[in-house]
A and B are shown apart, each in its own frame.
Chain A
């Protein structure tokens, strides 16, 4: 029999934006019934497929866990396409199919100074990370964002740990943000650095973190169909050159485990293959 962490149909409990700014920029919180999950780790994710997808939208959407209580599982979503638009428009009582918690989450080392680096909606997994950490005084957060800060659940997180935000408004700001990240990373030689955000951001953090002597974990959001290791759509090349599924071996990896983030050169896969695609 499938366990409590199997695939379940659940109802939406609530949906809301952090502020009118959140609504305007398509950033929503979505809470659904907890189907019986007892253990979940920050950085893990779930696959969500609203029944309204019917047959038209094929895949469930992978979403990072934003909060898990015995009653509810919460997500923080940015509308990026039709699937997330459906999810962000769900009302209490609407039903969806959900499976999880999936994958491997972030490392927790209570006594190690730990720097959390978030880009945009990549802030989501750090809310449960901070909430569950036994030594919040060892945590520090740097958050880069484009929509206004009020669109994000930043204030509540900043209330419990040392945190700063950076608003990227014009092209030149990216360099200033990178400089800020480099400056913060310099304090984390032998420390732990956890990053979640767009891939170029993760690549920059991995490079600068390595230079600073920090141990870096990155959370990837590769395109995936199944979330359980079967479709082989989300694979990432590891440092040994093997292709590993992001959904089961990640989504959180040590940067040094991956070819694209370990400072070496990425080698392309073969192109020979099968016209059936399999």
Chain B
């Protein structure tokens, strides 16, 4: 299979490999380890209107087959990103996807407006796994109505940019959130964000993260992620980008087999910084071996 490209709701990717937000910096950190132009897409570190410091240290902890993080969305702010980072990314060759973080729907909309004006941004990814400050801190992504409101707000200001909503797995019924967000106008869904978790040290009797609770990622969460993607793909008509614990080309194809159009790779970028570049190279021979000649004949063909 030579043609790896895929188009989702107007978002063109030269291959279905996207680096996940929060695991690939602003892209440039990895240019020493591979050609950024070889990637399908780059989701940059979550951006907020103002720069953010994030949570106190320690804010990462290793766990079996994965890790916990509670970075708290440390980022340089959208203005600095647009001025100092975006111009150096190869956005004509590789889709640069801006990940948005905000505390209320109005702020989300404002952020979307700023990013929608940038030629170098291919799509917006909305992080709804964050607390709605105006609603007592309940997470946008845990309430279908609030998730829909944020989606609408972003969509209104996004212009022609496809809007991708990133779903949290920490919900009772992820398909219900997916349907609500689809009805609100989302063009693409990406899932899953991290699983809420914690880790403690019995000798110090302290949590391993200063924030106590953090997000679990890595191969440990792949079965949960795969289940979520499977359920969501059956519930909606818009394209889905799957992620959660992908650490090999086989893992990536599992997500496509259950219905995803593309994948994001995250924690594996920490296992080795050339992971995403290698994944792009490993897909064609694996597809060849499996006798796959196009994405259309493979995607969503899980036999059940």
Tell me the A residues contacting B by CB distance below 8 Å: 1-3, 5-7, 49, 55-60, 97, 99, 222-233, 235, 243, 248, 268-278
In the complex, are the beta carbons of A277 and B69 less than 8 A apart? Answer: yes
In the complex, are the beta carbons of B70 and A277 less than 8 A apart? Answer: yes
**Which residues from A are CB-within-8-Å of B270?**
58-60, 225-226, 230-231
**Which residues from A are CB-within-8-Å of B67?**
58-59, 225
**Which residues from A are CB-within-8-Å of B277?**
2
In the complex, are the beta carbons of B130 and A275 less than 8 A apart? Answer: yes
In the complex, are the beta carbons of A276 and B168 less than 8 A apart? Answer: yes
Q: How far is the CB of A169 from chain B (nearest CB, A)?
A: 23
- Supposing A58-B66, A226-B269, A226-B273 touch, asked if A275 and B23 sit within 8 A by C-beta, the answer is no
In the complex, are the beta carbons of A278 and B273 less than 8 A apart? Answer: no
Q: Knowing that A232-B71, A272-B72 touch, tell me 19 more A-B residue pairs with CB under 8 angstroms.
A: A2-B274, A6-B32, A49-B271, A55-B219, A57-B62, A58-B271, A59-B271, A60-B271, A99-B272, A99-B273, A225-B62, A226-B270, A230-B270, A269-B53, A274-B127, A274-B130, A275-B139, A275-B196, A276-B168
In the complex, are the beta carbons of A55 and B35 less than 8 A apart? Answer: no
In the complex, are the beta carbons of B29 and A269 less than 8 A apart? Answer: no
In the complex, are the beta carbons of A229 and B29 less than 8 A apart? Answer: yes
Q: How far is the CB of B282 from chain A (nearest CB, A)?
A: 14
**Which residues from B are CB-within-8-Å of A273?**
54-55, 70, 72-73, 130, 211
Q: How far is the CB of B21 from chain A (nearest CB, A)?
A: 7
In the complex, are the beta carbons of A275 and B55 less than 8 A apart? Answer: no
Q: How far is the CB of A45 from chain B (nearest CB, A)?
A: 14
10 A-B residue pairs with Cβ-Cβ distance under 8 Å, sorted by A, are A58-B267, A226-B270, A230-B29, A230-B30, A230-B273, A270-B52, A270-B72, A274-B72, A276-B127, A277-B72
Closest to A271 in B: B55
Closest to B21 in A: A278
Bound-complex Cα distance A1 to B69 (A): 31
**Which residues from A are CB-within-8-Å of B218?**
55, 58
Taken residue by residue from 50 to 87, chain B's Cβ proximity to chain A (1 for < 8 Å, 0 otherwise) reads as: 00111111111111111111111110000000000000
**Which residues from B are CB-within-8-Å of A97?**
272
Contact pick for B56, options A2, A6, A99, A268, CB 8 Å: A268
- Supposing A269-B72, A274-B72, A274-B73 touch, asked if A99 and B33 sit within 8 A by C-beta, the answer is yes
Tell me the B residues contacting A by CB distance below 8 Å: 21-25, 29-30, 32-35, 45-46, 52-74, 101, 127, 129-131, 139, 168, 170, 193-194, 196, 211, 213-215, 218-219, 247, 267, 269-274, 277
In the complex, are the beta carbons of A7 and B272 less than 8 A apart? Answer: yes
**Which residues from B are CB-within-8-Å of A224?**
60
**Which residues from A are CB-within-8-Å of B35?**
1
Closest to A8 in B: B274
**Which residues from B are CB-within-8-Å of A231?**
23, 60, 69, 71, 270
Closest to A226 in B: B270
Q: How far is the CB of B160 from chain A (nearest CB, A)?
A: 27
**Which residues from B are CB-within-8-Å of A59?**
62, 67, 270-271
**Which residues from A are CB-within-8-Å of B24?**
230
**3 residue pairs, one from A and one from B, having the closest CB atoms:** A277-B215, A233-B60, A276-B129
Q: How far is the CB of A248 from chain B (nearest CB, A)?
A: 8
Contact pick for B25, options A99, A222, A229, A274, CB 8 Å: A229
- Supposing A2-B274, A58-B67 touch, asked if A278 and B73 sit within 8 A by C-beta, the answer is yes
